[in-house]
Amino acid sequence: MSEKRRVAVTGIGLVTPLGCEVNSFWDRLTRGESGIRRITYFDVSEYASQIAGELIEFEPEEYLSRKEMRHMDPFTVYGMVAAKKAVADSGLDFSGEDGERIGVVIGTGIGGLQILQNQHGVLLQRGPSRFSPFMIPQMITNILSGLVAIEFGLKGPNFCVTSACATGTHSLGESLRMIQFGDADIVLSGGAEAPICELGVGGFCAMRALSTRNDAPEKASRPFDAERDGFIIAEGAGVLVLEELEHARRRGAHIYCELAGYGRTCDAYHITAPDESGEGAARAMRLAMEDAGVKAEEVSYINAHGTSTKLNDRCETLAIKKALGEENARRVMVSSTKSMTGHTLGAAGAVEAAACALAIERGVVPPTTNYEYPDPDCDLDYVPNEARKAKVTVTLSNSLGFGGHNGTLCLRAVE
């Protein structure tokens, strides 16, 4: 096998509850601001969980016409805007590139849930003859990758990853592989999700997976804290431009960092609960470090999956210890940015990989907010409540999805 090619992150596009521009997102994240509020999209009075991470400062009309948006589920709108922002940030001019060497892999955990809910209402109220002819194209999970390719004329590898909360990480990891082994030179990659509707919130409430701390939304997401009681559903998108490193250098691109390694495993244990041994997640971290050629003692920071659920946070802490060894695990900085953004499900891995890239570039580690009551089972350095200035050279970004899907990315500073 020929030597693997190196891969740079040259563009970031974000649509999040903390803002939709890279700098405003980062400023709020490092100030420890919360994007969690009472849900405004529908009447939540009968729902156990009434809070979510809704988008702020989102103005899609700058990027899409009203006609285009009428034919898209919100998850597609979010992803299209994030993709366009990422391309603009990268400075790429596709007219000078070979479109057959540029791919798109943008996933979603659930897909067109809101159009499904809407069209089910049409069926009940008006009958099957009144379905929208756009219903199926709006719903299917791969439509976002297809539309991004159509927008920019990109004819390289194109597909959709769907692996629940690991979707964004798996999308980036599979894109990394394509560039490493020469199947593409550039890939637009990430995830998008729009789950804040009656079906989405109601379904997660029925699982008893969501926090019910409705009286204090900004305090509800509290990863690794002893008083955590569930995750906060959120919406958004993250798209990164991944580019073969020498290609990026030749065109004088701004390089945030290198996406250097990827590991993916399965717990093969339970449909929603993580394996309490933490071995599956630990193995994903070890594989990512091996792929990147880095040692455990070189890792500066881990952006944890950190959902604020009892099982996840305890098991992930154990997994970090197993992956890095006890001494390195206690040295490394670990934080969960979900404490501020909420859990954007299929978009989470991409949003959090962006946070890792920015931590490397800007020398600041975002905090885990709402960390007030230590849990003896969660005893690492979670960068509690305040961001920390630090030289960040190697990061891991973890995503652990329903179904036992584990994914880890390793990002590092470019030498």
Residues annotated catalytic, as ranges: 165, 305, 343
**Cα–chain center distance at 79:** 12
For the chain, the helix, strand and coil percentages under 3-state DSSP, each to the nearest 5:
40, 20, 40
Helices (H), 62-156: 66-70, 74-90, 113-126, 135-139, 143-152
Q: Are strands 333-335 and 301-303 parallel, antiparallel or unpaired?
A: parallel
Distance CA(119)–CA(127), nearest Å, equals 10
Q: Is 105 helix (H, G, I), strand (E, B) or coil?
A: strand
- DSSP code per residue over 186-239: EEEEEEEE---SHHHHHHHHHTT-B---TT-GGGT--TTBTT---B-BB-EEEE
For residues 261 and 286, is the Cβ–Cβ distance under 8 A? no
Burial label for 395, CB within 10 Å (0-12, 13-18, 19+), is buried
- Quick one: CA dihedral 298, 301, 303, 307, positive or negative? positive
Tokens of 7: 């891969």
Q: Is 28 helix (H, G, I), strand (E, B) or coil?
A: helix
Question: Cβ atoms within 10 A of the Cβ of 128, count?
Answer: 7
Distance CA(166)–CA(140), nearest Å, equals 18
Distance CA(352)–CA(340), nearest Å, equals 12
Distance CA(235)–CA(224), nearest Å, equals 22
**Cα–chain center distance at 294:** 23
- Would you mind telling me the total number of residues written for the chain in this entry? 415
